[in-house]
Structure 1
Amino acid sequence: MSEYLAPGVFVEEVSFRAKSIEGVSTTTTGFVGPARYGPLDIEPEIVTSLVEFERTYGGRDKLVFQDAGEVDNYLWHGVRAFFEEGGKRLYVSRVFTPIDATDERPGCARGGLPGSPSSMMVYARFPGRAGNARVGFTFNVGQSLLSDVDGVTFANSLQSRDVVWIRPRAGAPSPAVEDGYYLALWDAANESWAFVSSGDDIGTAEATLTDLSAANYELRVISVTVVVQPLGGGDAFVAPDLPLDPLHQRAGSPDSLFAYFAEFPASLSRARTLPIVIRAEDVAAIGTGTELLGAFFDADPNASVSPPAGLRAAMQNSQSTPAERSLAILIDDGNDGLRPFASAYEGEVDSADRKTGLRQFEDLEDISIVAAPGSTFGYESGYATHAPSIVRALIRHAERMKYCIAVLDSGDNQAISEVRAMRAQLDSKHAALYYPWVRVLDPLTQRETHMPPSGFVAGIYARNDVNRAVYKAPANEVVNLALGFERFLNKAQQEVLNPEGINCFRYFEGRGMRLWGARTISSDPEWKYVNLRRYFAYLERSIDKGTQWAVFEPNGEQLWANVRRTIEDFLLNEWQSGALLGDKPEKSYFVKCDRSTMSQNDLDNGRLICLIGVAPLRPAEFVIFRIGQWTADRKV
């Protein structure tokens, strides 16, 4: 309550209306599965196109598992189908099962400088064959930074711990400073620059700025540009003009070659997108930037003939810039590991709170659809030990998250009896099963192939919600990418599958390839339909988010009335949009929040209980027209 202590006019803002509830999104999807590349334990970034997915998780090429051989990249195909069918927002959790779990960086391509220093290693940041690459190091020499003003020499833009090349100009008097590479150090005590050729002790400086003049010397900063070119093709990654010294800092933050490509970069964005890790197993062996530069040249004499003579030979005149010198390291032996086990899909949380698999989605509350495209490939054969466990992991995740539904794939090439046996083992109001697989044109091989239905279905869910509404059943929808299906079902066959909650894809002449089912795998008839489950998830989460303001408010009549008005206004809007059954609002919903819903014990324990009932619309799954003969003179 405001205090009024001195006479005056006080203007205050008050609210005369109830708080509003905004409907939440129902189209955000989460996919989990193996990919060619990309992070495993970093919080997923939202993906809005297939191009964005490829930029982080690799392209369409097939995966090669040690135990399963070459397998289609089902996650890529699922993402493609999702966006082609109308999906908008997607999170991806990549899973990986290593061949050798004792390896420090399992599945990652690796390589090092030949010769000295052997302790500097270059690794692919993430496991996968797509990490095999050619890493090029190009050494750049900048313009001279020296300038003389009124007899005083300045080094413009020079930074502490820059690696510099100091060289006498042609025709200069006998030089006091030898041609060579130096580490520039700022002497804070004397407020001056010192240049050291080995080590980083200012006391051993071989030159200071007073020894140099723009007329007689050139002082140029040497940096390195790193180019990572994947061996399998694709765009190269370029990191230009990085300082060489491991302790180099800019604006108080490390920015050297090692800091930029560190195991844990400065930003989460870099951690997702940088393709390699450059690591010094023993920093003491690397030494300073000048020693690292010499090590590069020693490792590959073609990078630069023994300095500084080689650089001098590359000069055309006293004002020219030394030619760029390069060397390359091949990092290889990256692999796609084993076909991921069910435990990889379930995920885990390590000691540093880094999560993998489905565990990553537990922190992303906006995900309302979850799927694992391709996880049921081989359900009836070699992968039968893991595929059923993955299906159950998806269901458990959806049930745990409450406002989520799992889209389940049937197995590839399953007979009707086999998919019925699969369905008989499952029961959940938070999951729906789809059969059979969809035939599409593979853009990689230019041949027709069969893909799991979950990617298509998730995209159809999103398209249905955007074009119509979440309360409309996501069925009788065209499958845009489909050329056919793994098995063409007739009406009699679907009459066997539909009552058991197996949603089918059907071909209808003149109407194309369509999704023709919208049931969950629940044995509870109250939650028989997918749209009913998803609509209640939408209502519940919208009310959940829209009434958080009520927590810790005084629990009395005024609060109860505000809560009632807030929810009634939201449900009235739902009724007006056609989501609820009934020709009047009072027939479509009710909201109670008063002493009839709360006991004194509830009030004493800080509980506000609101009872809400809605009359949702169910789909017209069976449209029946009864036709009989009628004569003109007969009354109806």
Structure 2
Amino acid sequence: MPEYLAPGVFVEEVSFRSKSIEGVSTTTTGFIGPARFGPVLASSDILTSLTEYERAYDAGTQMAFGADGGQSGPNFLWQAVRAFFEEGGRRAYVSRVFRPLEGVYPSDLEASFANAAVAASNPVLYKDGHARATVGADGSDRFRIVARWPGSGGNLRVRFTLRLGPNVLGALPDPDDKTALIPTVANLADGDVVWITSAATLTPAAPVASPPAPREVDELPIYVAKQAIDGGWSFVEGGIRPGSPPQPADPSATLALADFNLDPTPGSGDSIRALSLAIEVLSDDGSRSLGAWGGLSLAPGHKTAGVPDSIFDLFSLDGAASADTPIVLLNDVAGGIVGGGTDLLRALDSLKGIDFSLTPAEWEDARFKDELAALRAKLERGLTGVAYLEGGNDGLLPGRAEYEGRADPTEDYATGLKQLEALEDISIVAAPGSTWAYDSRVDDVNAVTNLLISHAERMRYRIAVLDTPEGMKIAEVRKLRAKLDSKHAALYWPWVTVFDPITRQALNLPPSGFVAGIYARNDTERAVYKAPANEVVRGAIGFETLVSTAQQEVLNPEGINVFRFFEGRGYRLWGARTISSDPEWKYVNVRRYFAYLERSIDKGTQWAVFEPNGEALWANVRATIRDFLVNEWASGALLGDKPEKAFFVRCDRSTMTQNDLDNGRLVCLIGIAPLKPAEFVIFRIGQWTADQKN
């Protein structure tokens, strides 16, 4: 109660109604499986379209497992996400699994990145699966590009563009001499690499009849801008050399701002132009951009507003600022760093397209009076070079260990199904492609299936959508089903035939991606209490096996949901049973509806924790849950023509003993009459005569 210690008027806010419970989402799906690229140690952000998946992972190219890539097959994860969104799915998470050619992932990722000698027996591939490229010659001007994540999709193209900016040299009136000007600079930061055109640094060469010999990078008028504590500027020639701390190439070759000549005529006089780097990362086929970063400084250790933002900071292995960049840039100099300025330019000069020399045609251009002016004009337009990463691979076909995953709180990462445990809003889990190549790895596939079931049961509010292996006959499917029993899982057969946009041929795909999308569409268009069956499979052009009514009469009682083709009604999902032996949990919609109710009540009654455990709290809890269930009954989710027949809520002395109260327990008993699906619709018809009475 508030304290009132002085006379006055006090206004308080009070509540005269019970708390409300909001229904939770039931359509968010968690997929797990191998992909050609993308994060392994962290799950994706929530995906709302196939385009978002492709931006984070890959665009559906077939995968190749094994050291020789001989075990190739469809990209099942991409196909499942595509089917999910086509069938009506709205939101999904993805946990990518990866099994390297040797060892486990990650063993020591940082050491692996730093070690260039990680090639497998096949020199084209790397054991850890990460593609690599080296830029520059062997020396202080060399650095390495490594794909941040493993996979054949990591054989990226990295486009570097060097460009000179506008002249930042300006002037202010001299306060002591109104006719004089004082040089100043604008839009320049300490550590920026600049190109200086100044009478103090060079004398324009006289025109010659033929192009001169190519200039070395060290001969270019490259400087590093330095700002003193008092705000004064100086410019150090040649950039920075490796060392601790980095040292100027020649401290005596320094220009002060006062050394520059000002000319009021636009385009005349000295100039200071910032030299910046832009990096764009493209997919392995060059068709998609994975990200672009512009205005990057060439100086290691460069900071903006106190935040490191050089290319070796932005594209580092760790750090929040670089977590989403698809590549990592590593200094390849033992005991030092790649220097700024000319060192980095010298490395980039090794790329095709970045050339600090002039062609005869460029030399003959009448606009250019000397070689440096011509090179400066080239840099103003931009010089672009491309580095190609190689050696990335899809590793080995993942198995039980990869799907189960690992979690290391000290390193703040999780893999496999353990990633999905941290995501509360997932209601459906599936592992598309986990049953592929069943005959060669029976035990592994069965273990992954059991892991998926265990995960759904442990997380309580989820259902696992299980795939049968490809090519199974009815007897084999029944044998597989006989080994499973869970009220948190449903089994589907046969595989769905689609038109593959990658190979432009018919392709059989596991059902889980389609089923998860149908679940989501059913919940959105109807409700979670409606059985997700008798729904059109939008992406199907056929099924691996056409199931007859007589065959389904054998499979349906055993909890094997099938896809059927009906003349004039198309391709449909024709089953909604779990694999539970408990008749109370026979139907998928009952299981999912109870998960919806339980999770909604769980989230909507958190306010009750640590409240005084007495009559007032019990009444409030009863009212909160009753209001929620009345709304469910009114929407048609519960059986009964009155709320009293549809549910009951008890929270009083009849549900709690004194021992419960003494131990801080509030026990609420809730009974619900759920709707079961009309699985068998029976019309009894007999003859009737007009003279008979009703």
TM-score tier after normalising by the smaller chain length: over 0.9
8 Å contact from structure 2 (residues 529, 637) kept in 1: yes
**CA separation in 2, counterparts of 1:477 and 1:301?**
55
More deviation, 126-135/471-480: 126-135
1:567 to 616, 621, 625: 625
Measure the CA separation in 2 of the matches of 1:85 and 1:373. Answer: 15
Deviations 1:295-316 (A, max 9, x none): 3266459734489xx9961525
Structure 1 144/629 Cα, relative in aligned 2: closer, same or farther at 3 Å?
A: same
DSSP 3-state at the match of 2:684: coil
Shift of 1:354: 0.3
Q: Cα deviations across residues 494-521 of structure 1 (Å, max 9, x unaligned)?
A: 1111111000111111211111111000
Matching residue within 255, 259, 262 for 2:316: 262
Residue 328 of structure 2 is matched in structure 1 by 277
CA RMSD of aligned residues (A): 2.5
Aligned residue in 2 for 1:483: 541
Deviates more, 1:352-361 or 1:398-407: 352-361
State which drifts further: 214-223 or 88-97: 214-223
SS in structure 2 at match of 1:286: coil
More displaced, 561-570 or 604-613? 604-613
Which consecutive residues of structure 1, in runs of 5 or more, have no partner in the other structure? none
- Sequence identity percentage: 55
AA partner of residue 591 (structure 1): V
Residue 285 of structure 1 aligns to a residue whose secondary structure is coil
Residues 580-599 of structure 1 deviation map (CA, whole Å, 9 limit, x = unaligned): 11111111111111111111
My pick for the range that moved more, 526-535 or 8-17, is: 8-17
Query: 1:214 maps to what in 2?
Result: 262
Residues 517 and 322 (structure 1), Cα distance of their counterparts in 2 relative to 1, 3 Å cut: closer
What is the rounded CA distance, in whole Å, between the counterparts of 2:158 and 2:377 in structure 1? 31
Deviation at 1:328, TM superposition (A): 3.0
Select 2:146's aligned residue among 116, 123, 140.
123
Alpha carbons 2:143, 2:338 under 8 Å: kept: no
Instruction: Indicate the larger mover: 314-323 or 25-34.
Output: 314-323
TM-score by length of 2: 0.86
User: What residue is the counterpart of 2:414 in the other structure?
Assistant: 355
- Alignment pair present for 1:610 and 2:677: no
Equivalents in 2 of 1:301, 1:568: separation in Å?
A: 72
Give the aligned partner of residue 504 of structure 1: 562
For residues 432 and 298 of structure 2, the distance between their equivalents in structure 1, rounded to whole angstroms, comes to 44
Aligned length: 627
CA–CA separation in structure 1 for the residues paired with 2:378 and 2:168: 14
Among candidates 321, 329, 346, match of residue 295 of structure 1: 346
Specify the alignment match of 1:76 in structure 2: 78
Partner-residue secondary structure (3-state), 1:399: helix
CA distance in 2, matches of 1:590, 1:373: 40
Give the CA deviation at 1:548: 0.4
How far off its partner does 1:171 sit?
12
Cα distance in 1 for partners of 2:379, 2:161 equals 14
Distance 1:466 1:318 in 2: 60
1:69-218 paired onto structure 2 within 5 Å: 69-101=71-103, 104=112, 106-115=128-137, 116-117=139-140, 120-150=143-173, 151-168=181-198, 180-188=221-229, 190-197=230-237, 198-199=239-240, 206-215=254-263, 216-218=269-271
Equivalent residue number for residue 246 of structure 1: 300
Equivalent pair of 2:528/2:593 in contact (CA under 8 Å): yes
Instruction: Report the TM-score, using the length of structure 1 for normalisation.
Output: 0.93
1:460 equivalent in structure 2: 518
Task: State the 1:170 CA deviation.
Answer: 10
Q: Residues 501 and 302 (structure 1 numbering): CA distance in 2 closer, same or farther, change over 3 Å?
A: closer
- The amino acid that maps onto 1:450 is N
Q: Which runs of 5+ in 2 are unaligned?
A: 114-127, 174-180, 206-218, 241-245, 264-268
Query: Aligned partners of 2:202 and 2:58: how far apart in 1?
Result: 55
Residues of 2 paired with 1:533 and 1:442: CA distance? 34
Counterpart of 1:224, as a letter, is: L
Which residue of structure 2 aligns with residue 628 of structure 1? 686
Give the 3-state SS of the residue equivalent to 1:10 in structure 2: coil
Alpha-carbon distance, 1:259 to partner: 1.7
Does the CA contact (< 8 Å) of 1:148 and 1:213 recur in 2? no
Deviation (angstroms), 1:398? 0.4
- What is the distance in 1 between the residues matched to 2:189 and 2:577? 66
2:226 counterpart letter in structure 1:
L
Counterpart contact for 1:119–1:285, Cα < 8 Å: no
| Structure 2 residue aligned with 1:371 | 430
Q: How far is the alpha carbon of 1:195 from its aligned partner? A: 2.0
> Aligned ranges for residues 585-596 of structure 1 at < 5 Å?
585-596=643-654
1:263 deviation in Å?
1.5
The answer to whether the Cα contact below 8 Å between 2:146 and 2:329 also exists between their aligned partners in 1 is yes
